[in-house]
Amino acid sequence: MDQDSHCTAERELLEAVSRITTFSTTSPSDQEENQPKAEISCQQRKENPEKDDLQDSSATLSPHSSMTTKELQEYWRNEKSQCRQVKLLFEIPSTRIVEHHLSKYVMYKIIILQTGSFDSNKSVIERRYSDFEKLHRNLLEEFSEEMEDVTFPKKTLTGNFTEEIINERKLAFKDYLRLLYSMKCIRRSKKFIDFLTRPELQEAYGCLRGGQYTKALEILLEVIGLQERLTRGNPVSIVPTLCAIMVCHKDLENPASAFEYGEKALSCLRVHSSHRYYIPLLETMISLAYELGKDFLSLQEKLEEWKTKKDPIRVFTLKELAVREYVQ
């Protein structure tokens, strides 16, 4: 390639990167707090972007002139991937029949995968017919219009445990979840997210309250990945789970791991200093930083800054907040 052609190619790449960066740094038109960012179309932008967003865009573009053609191509690919809609795939590969005292029911194994790439962090949960039925009733109350054409497998008086009926319901529930997830308002709703995460969270917090930190941690680490996928764009919603993981690590004498999850939780709350977890989280992070020999002065400054702006109120410790979650 001659020099003129090479310069032209680099100039075209720079222009393309500039366009993509503009898309990725502007905010979505949807003002809902819990809107998943990964689902936002690359073409959706505010008419009046925030000043900070514009400054960030300019700062991001400034180093491009020093990039090689190969680096620009790689940057372009990365930026384009950020604009792709992240989708979840639901599979129900198997079932098991449970007999408990005088009751008998079928548990459906649900595997939740992220499409578009190899997903090594798939989530696996189990739900029974009555769980699906309760979800359907709850969604009908809130989304009657959207649920108008959604069919639900009806109960039968006999044959509920035959292989034929179970296989029919496996396919029906798979299609049911796929259809619900395809509707934006439903997949973002608390009722849908609770259906997929609440039973496991209730079990985990029960273990935490009982001092079974290893078991609680195991469950929480399984749930947090699914929560992150379901609540993209609303990081504040996963703060309680991150803090519960932090509490478990701390009580299991894993301060480094506790600090790691604390940093994730703090990043979720960087513009939410009024959140009930913010001060207990800061206090715990200061203690951990001191124990690990890390810089705690910046954390201390944030705490002092908050105290000067707020009236003194009773603040629970991080562990006290965690054990209060999902208390019936």
Residue-wise pLDDT tens for the chain (328 aa)?
Answer: 554 544 555 555 455 445 444 444 343 334 344 444 333 333 343 344 334 333 433 333 444 455 566 656 665 555 554 445 568 999 999 999 999 888 899 999 999 998 865 656 789 999 999 999 999 999 999 999 999 999 999 888 777 889 999 999 999 999 999 999 999 999 999 999 999 999 999 999 999 999 999 999 999 999 999 999 999 878 999 999 999 999 999 999 999 999 999 999 999 998 898 899 999 999 999 999 999 999 999 999 999 988 887 766 667 999 999 999 998 6
Residue 240 is part of a domain; what is its CATH number?
1.25.40.10
User: 3-state class of 107 per DSSP?
Assistant: strand
Question: Are 183 and 202 in a shared domain?
Answer: no
Question: Are 137 and 162 in a shared domain?
Answer: yes
* Parent domain of 161: 88-188
Provide the whole-model pTM.
0.72
Question: Are 202 and 318 in a shared domain?
Answer: yes
Residue 123 is part of a domain; what is its CATH number?
3.30.1520.10
DSSP H helical ranges for the chain: 3-25, 51-61, 69-83, 129-142, 163-182, 184-187, 190-209, 213-230, 239-251, 255-268, 278-292, 297-309, 318-324
- Where do we find the tokens 């003002």? 31
State the Cα–Cα distance between residues 205 and 259, nearest whole angstrom: 20
Confirm whether 204 is domain-assigned: yes
Q: Which of 188, 215, 247 is the last residue of a domain?
A: 188
Altogether, the residues listed in the chain come to a count of 328
Residue 237 · residue 231 · CB < 8 Å: yes
Structure tokens of 68? 């090689």
DSSP at 128: E
Structure tokens of 313? 């109120």
174-206: burial string, b at 16+ Cβ within 10 Å, e else: bebbeebbebeebbbbebbbebbbeebbebbbb
Domains identified in the chain, total number = 2
Question: Are 238 and 258 in a shared domain?
Answer: yes
Question: Are 320 and 208 in a shared domain?
Answer: yes
